[in-house]
Amino acid sequence: MTIRNDLPCPIIEDEDMGIVMPDGCRLSARVWMPEDALTRPVPAVLEYIPYRKRDGTLPRDEMMHPYVAGHGYACVRVDMRGNGDSEGLMSDEYTQSEMEDAVAVIDWLSRQAWCSGAVGMMGKSWGGFNCLQAAFNQPPALKAVISVCSTTDRFADDIHFKGGCLLGENFGWGAVMLSFSSRPPDPLLRPDWREMWMERLAAEPWLAPRWAALQERGAYWKHGSVGEDYARMQTPVLIWGGWADNYMNTVAHLVENVPAPCKGIVGPWVHQYPHTAVPGPQVGFLQLAVRWWDRWLKGIENGAGDDPAYRVWMMHSAPPDASAKERPGHWVAEADWPSQRVAPRRLALGAEGRLGGEGSAFTARIATAQHLGLKAGEFFPMGLNAEMPGDQREDDALSLCFDGEVLSEALDLLGAAELRLRLASDKPLGFVVARLCDVAPDGASVRIAHGMLNLCHRDSREKPAPMVPGEVTEVVVTLDQMAYRLAPGHRLRLALSNSYWPFVWPSPEAGCLTVTGGSLTLPVHAGSVNEWTPPPAEHAAPWKHRVIRTGRARRFIEEDLIAGTVALVVEDDLGDAENLTHGLCSGETMSERWEIRPDDPLSAKAVHVWEQRLSRGDWSVRTRAEAEMTGSATELRHKAVLRAWEGEVLVFERAWDDSVPRRFV
């Protein structure tokens, strides 16, 4: 990683530029631009997110935005309405108001004296969603976007549902946002910070039950899903993803369907920008971003529009490691996607757990223990704290497995596998999870990809229907996109379960699926050598700060031999630090506990606690969000408490206790 202090353009910074929305709400922006931009206007690049530019994303902002600005752009980091130093209130994610604000900001930027009139938009996760949604809404000044770790379908591929299954992350993210959005503006920028804070706290939404109640793909989820009408995507898109992140499907979907110039890159990374993400190798994301902006915002014919459609890091067989710093592999560059170098290969499921061959008649049961899945990893891992999938052999031992023959030569897979199963369920509600694993000669098992299907969604995501107990039906499970080379001597394993805790919230009853046939279709690649050498990672100078208190992370599995419970426990103390530029001290601490009895899905219980701290001199504030989720046979219960302190005085407290009916989950 190279730190660049020799950028082509000297830059200036405005830490609180006001952008007033049509309704009078003032959004706060931090802006970096070349110092001569007023006499030589430059394109603007917008990042628009709710994660607080003053403290939340500041460390990464200072590595990225000055770098791009130093190459001749005005980089504008905006706090969304109701967050950070911006006025207003936030009621939910991806609302119509949020999208209209983005369009208004883009229009405002295009009309500034220092702007050439061309605007680009970049972002990761929520910011990546915003980029795609802005392109979908087609503001005239928006000329290109760069989206990282985002989705085209808010129901199929976001943190709430996957294959119609209710994700544990739906509750987890509700707790995150209850905590993140509870913090006040910085008093140095907003003298009315306390009034804004009290209004913000009073209006704070508890979103987890709202999302959990929407168990079919209706209008709520279709709103903001750009896959509803790809024809509207007329803005050039550079889309990035990571194989260790659960937004990996988006890249292939966009490259295949967007009519505008669209280029996709997927590396081995977690849910981070590719110049800092693990596992390595990291790449020169910022150089490639500047190249994209130069082509579409400045009109420089530099070949960015002629790059291969789809570039991916094909991971090679390696021992399982939930904290992998590097992943061996090589870059594959596909001129077009879908690729003519990929062909389907059908493997039949057979008796005695065989995968491949002619197939044979069999009857097998899937009735897995409720604690299966503890090594699944996070929905979007952030770093090296054992957040990626670990060794799968313990989960494999609890699953219904089908094993292929030992490979005599390498097998390259690129794309999404499709599983067809003929099965019957003894319960009206249930799901099936399919994991595709690379099994080494020593028995170690690495998850290559997984997929899941809520059986109520077997025929329709818009109109799900309970299973008819005992009725045989055929279902299709599409696994996630992958790029993976299995080594000779290894074998492919398909592991099936109807539990996956805590990745998926369990069904109300411990059901049994009877499987009487099926097949797995693999996307087999013809083979390749390294086909792309990206630039090395570099960035601008990191933020100036002082560590006040060092953080600590722990992640462990706890078994209570008396109560009979098993729990995944996550503790992440980020410590406290002082910003040496403006003196704001900030800190964050969180804990998660996911507990269940192996024989009882209704014993599932999740408890999350988040604390946020801000201070400067004699001023200090603190918020604490506590959230709990449990379930009965008919309802999902979501409880939360939010408290806020000014100094040592409790100034706000509110509790929620919401239940939603279990219609399809």
Element (H, E) at 59: helix 58-69
Both 552 and 478 in a single domain? no
**Where residue 405 sits, what CATH number does that domain have?**
2.60.120.260
Considering the domain boundaries, does residue 37 fall inside one? yes
Domain termination site, one of 311, 334, 357? 334
pLDDT confidence of residue 1: 81
Considering 334, 357, 380, which residue would you say is the last residue of a domain?
Answer: 334
In this structure, of 1-15, 127-141, 287-301, 480-494, the range with the lowest mean pLDDT score is: 1-15
> Which two tokens mark 450?
């997984």
In this prediction, what percent of the chain has a pLDDT beyond 70?
Answer: 100
pTM for the complete prediction? 0.97
Tell me the per-residue pLDDT of 336-367, one tens digit each, with 9 for 90 and over.
999 999 999 999 999 999 999 887 889 999 99
Percent of the chain beyond pLDDT 90?
98
Domain termination residue (choose one: 498, 525, 552): 525
Helix segments in 111-207, DSSP class H? 126-137, 168-180, 193-202
Residue 351 falls within a domain, yes or no? yes
For 93, how many CA atoms within 13 A lie in the half-sphere containing its CB? 29
Residue-wise DSSP of 296-322: HHS---SSGGGS-SEEEEEEEP----T
In a domain, 2, yes or no: no
Whether residues 257 and 370 share a domain: the answer is no
CB 19 within 8 A of CB 81: no
Q: Both 482 and 608 in a single domain?
A: no
- Alpha carbons 204 and 201: distance in angstroms, whole number: 5
> What is the DSSP-derived secondary structure letter of residue 231?
G
Residue 548 lies in a domain: yes
**Same domain as 290, residue 147:** yes
Task: List Cβ neighbours of 166 (8 Å cut-off, separation of 6 or more).
Answer: 160, 212, 215, 454, 504, 505, 636, 665
- Count of H helices and E strands in the chain? 10, 32
Residue 436 in domain: yes
Q: Are residues 569 and 513 in the same domain?
A: no
- 58 and 75 fall within a common domain: yes
Together in a domain, 151 and 29: yes
pLDDT at 17 over 90: yes
- Whether residues 138 and 97 fall in one domain: yes
Q: For residue 56, give both structure tokens.
A: 């939340």
Same domain membership, residue 566 and residue 502: no
| In a domain? residue 1 | no
Q: Is 207 a member of any domain?
A: no
Q: What is the pLDDT of residues 552-599, one digit of tens each?
A: 999 999 999 999 999 999 999 999 999 999 999 999 999 999 999 999
Residues 153 and 267 in one domain: yes
Q: Which of 47, 550, 444, 483 is nearest to 273 (CA)?
A: 47
In total, how many domains does the chain have?
A: 3
Do 500 and 365 fall within a single domain?
Answer: yes
Whether residues 295 and 377 share a domain: the answer is no
**Residue 364 and residue 515 in contact, taking contact as beta carbons nearer than 8 Å:** yes
pLDDT in tens, 498-528: 999 999 999 999 999 999 999 999 999 999 9
- Residue 588's domain spans which residues? 543-661
pLDDT in tens, 314-338: 999 999 999 999 999 999 999 999 9
CA–CA dist 215, 468 (Å, integer): 19
* Position 302 in a domain: yes
Give the largest Cα separation in the chain, rounded: 77
User: Could you give the C-alpha distances from 386 to 53, 173, 377, 556, 597, in angstroms and in order?
Assistant: 28, 19, 8, 9, 23
